[in-house]
Amino acid sequence: MQYRTLGNTDLKLSVITHGAFAIGGHMWGGNEKQDSINAIRASLDHGITSIDTAPFYGFGLSETLVGDAIKGKDRSKIQLLTKFGLVWDGSNNGKGTFFFDATENGNTVPVYKYASKENVIKETEASLKRLGTDYIDLLQLHWPDASTPVSETMEALGLLIQQGKIRAAGVSNYDVAQLQEAAQTLKPASNQVSYSMLNRSIEKDLVPYALETHTGIIAYSPMERGLLTGKYFKEHRLASDDHRNGYFTQFNLEKVKTLLQSMEPMAKRKDATLAQLVLRWTTLQPGISVVLAGARNAAQAIANAEAMNLELNPEERQSIHQQLSGLQQHSTDHL
């Protein structure tokens, strides 16, 4: 495993970071608790020291499972990344910006973007409790909230840093203008954004800005929620409540299938899976600090970690870029 310093902080994160969205179960067709815990522990055992989660993932379940998984571990060797700013329990009293309607236990649950100072502090305390820790390594705004001044949110994060409850503050899904506005109060250490072979829109503006300002980029959905593993084309079976049934429709699936078929020989030569090749390619792109990779069980977690064993020479990288040139880039809302 390799480790990189995040932005202008002293945080060293594993280049492959364990993404804990799916283990929350919600929107992913459920989960298996022990498998999820085993996946996190397998990641830790194989050099993945950083775990990214959020209160919204499973309405608190993902954070709770992460907390259970790290019990008894050396906390100083683990970096916990979580978020705030998506409220689903009604505690915002209608304040904030309505995002969408989620479903919990068959009931419709309105989700709001809400990043007021009061809410940032409240959510942080709840996350600390669920994670079973007294500090968070990186706390990130989950989505921009148009109803709250950016300065107010950044001031709250600055206060949490002063109190020692978080080591660093970041944002998610920000564009360059929003990063510039935030930096007037508190420079974000990082920006967590969607980036994959099928969605490279950040390369135009965000990556150059990040490189210029030493802002970390945390890439999520590098495998487009499993689509780029190739399994979807061989095992076309998703639970009825799995959000990917709709998510995958944004892509030209025939072109994606052709792309994966074109990359299979390279993966086989390297005794690797397509998922490992996709992950390793993503880690090598300019401006990308770390890449999130989800795992539902220990075997998947180990495979993610072993992706870093792959070497891609300049000719191989160029070959992949040529194969990607015919694909239309997509940009869509992600969680």
Q: Which residues are catalytic?
A: 57
Closest C-alpha to 52, from 61, 37, 62, 38: 62
Angle between helices 33-45 and 298-306 (to 10 degrees): 30
What is the Cα–Cα distance from 320 to 197, expressed in whole angstroms?
Answer: 9
**Cα–chain center distance at 151:** 24
Token readout for 21 is: 């969205």
Q: What φ, ψ does residue 132 adopt, rounded to 5°? A: 70, 40
Q: How far apart are CA 78 and CA 2, in angstroms?
A: 14
Q: 149 with 180: CB under 8 angstroms? A: no
How far, rounded to the nearest angstrom, does the alpha carbon of residue 219 sit from its chain's CA centroid?
Answer: 6
Residue-by-residue DSSP string for 192-258 = EEE-BTTB-GGGTTHHHHHHHHT-EEEEE-TTTTTGGGSHHHH-----TTBTHHHHGGGS-HHHHHH
Closest CA to 35 of 321, 329, 310, 298: 298
